[in-house]
Amino acid sequence: MAVIGTAGHVDHGKSTLAQALTGIDPDRLREEKERGLTIDLGFAWLTLPSGRELGIVDVPGHERFIKNMLAGAGGVDLALLVVAADEGPRPQTREHLAILDLLEVPSGLVVITKCDLVEPGYVDLVEEELAGTLRDSANFTRLDAGYKNNVIPSEATAHIDCRFLPGHQDELLDTIRELAGEHVDLIIDQLGISVDAPRDSAFVASMQAAIQAEDPDAALLPYCLSAGTDNKALEALGIHGYGFVPLKLPADLNFAMLFHGVDERVPVDAVRFGARVLRRLLDDC
């Protein structure tokens, strides 16, 4: 029997998804039902229309029960990484993903839950954020070949801008080498590190206070940014960069799609908001 495992941050809807798929409530302990929180592993199963049997191991998301999650994730054939649309990726989303990676779970997919709690269009933003957070990326940015119209070029060069998740450098380079094949030389002309800035610091608390003074509903969340290249150079000098660019953007502006694109722009009001927040942050430092 193939086994599917859930994974993801606390309260993002893992058990609800397992129940929706199977009709079986995986939270079997009384305390779990009373608290609405998974503590220990839960199990559910279903038979696919093809007759194939599937088992589901439902894991807790709360960081206190990470040991139980670890026990459940070993040996699953496919992981369902559950991310709630109203919160996006949170610390245990990344932690569980790292565990699945470590345990070499062979395949997985991301399930976005609680789509009913957000405005239409917002799910697209969550999807884009997830793509940058969960995957390495490689984009062709420059292609050069030839010097004359009627001469076949003896050489062609493609520049690839790669962004790898922390710890994924070798894997990404191996994949590119394999895809390039034996007739293409891979030359690394610039190699940056993946940096991870500390979250429990007075500076982060100041950022939180500065943004909440201008927008009381705002929450400061850590996330994995596929940009912020300058921070790599600063990290070498012992300076942590946070990519803190506070902009209060209209819900219907898909900024992620405009970022470093041909028509990159934000409303003037968003910049004014950001200037006010940064002023507060500077005053506090």
Interaction pattern, residues 24-63, with ligand GTP; x per rule: CB under 6 A:
------------xxx---------------------xxx-
Near ligand GTP in 184-243, by CB under 6 A: none
Q: Which does 72 bind (CB under 5 to 8 A by kind): Mg ion, ligand GTP, none?
A: none
Nearest to 133 by CA among 254, 16, 227, 250: 227
For the bound state, the minimum distance from the C-beta of residue 56 to ligand GTP, rounded and expressed in Å, comes to 12
How many residues touch ligand GTP under the rule CB under 6 A: the total is: 17
Interaction pattern, residues 36-55, with Mg ion; x per rule: CB under 5 A:
--x-----------------
Residue 136 tokens read as 């390495």
Near ligand GTP in 98-127, by CB under 6 A: 113-114, 116-117
- Residues 6+ positions from 266 with CB-CB distance below 8 Å: 247, 249, 253, 255
Q: Which is nearer to Mg ion, 15 or 93 (CB)?
A: 15
CA distances from 206 to 84, 178, 198, 222, 223 (A): 27, 46, 14, 14, 17
Q: How many CB atoms lie within 10 A of CB 107?
A: 10
For the bound state, the minimum distance from the C-beta of residue 74 to Mg ion, rounded and expressed in Å, comes to 18
User: In angstroms, rounded to a whole number, what is the distance separating the alpha carbons of residues 122 and 266?
Assistant: 17
User: In angstroms, rounded to a whole number, what is the distance separating the alpha carbons of residues 69 and 73?
Assistant: 6
Q: Do the bridges between strand 53-58 and strand 2-8 make them parallel or antiparallel, or are there none, so unpaired?
A: parallel
Q: Which does 280 bind (CB under 5 to 8 A by kind): ligand GTP, Mg ion, none?
A: none
Question: Residue 144: beta bridge partners?
Answer: 157
DSSP state letters, 209-271: HHHHHH-TT--------S--THHHHHHHTT------------TT--HHHHTTSTT----HHHH
Please give the residue whose beta carbon sits closest to ligand GTP in the complex.
61
How many residues touch Mg ion under the rule CB under 5 A: the total is: 3
For the bound state, the minimum distance from the C-beta of residue 82 to ligand GTP, rounded and expressed in Å, comes to 6
29 close to 104: Cβ distance less than 8 angstroms = no
Q: Which is nearer to ligand GTP, 61 or 246 (CB)?
A: 61
Interaction pattern, residues 7-36, with Mg ion; x per rule: CB under 5 A:
-------xx---------------------
Q: With binding defined as CB under 6 A, does residue 13 bind ligand GTP?
A: yes
Q: How many CB atoms lie within 10 A of CB 243?
A: 11
Q: Which is nearer to Mg ion, 38 or 113 (CB)?
A: 38
Interface with ligand GTP (CB under 6 A): 10-16, 36-38, 60-62, 113-114, 116-117
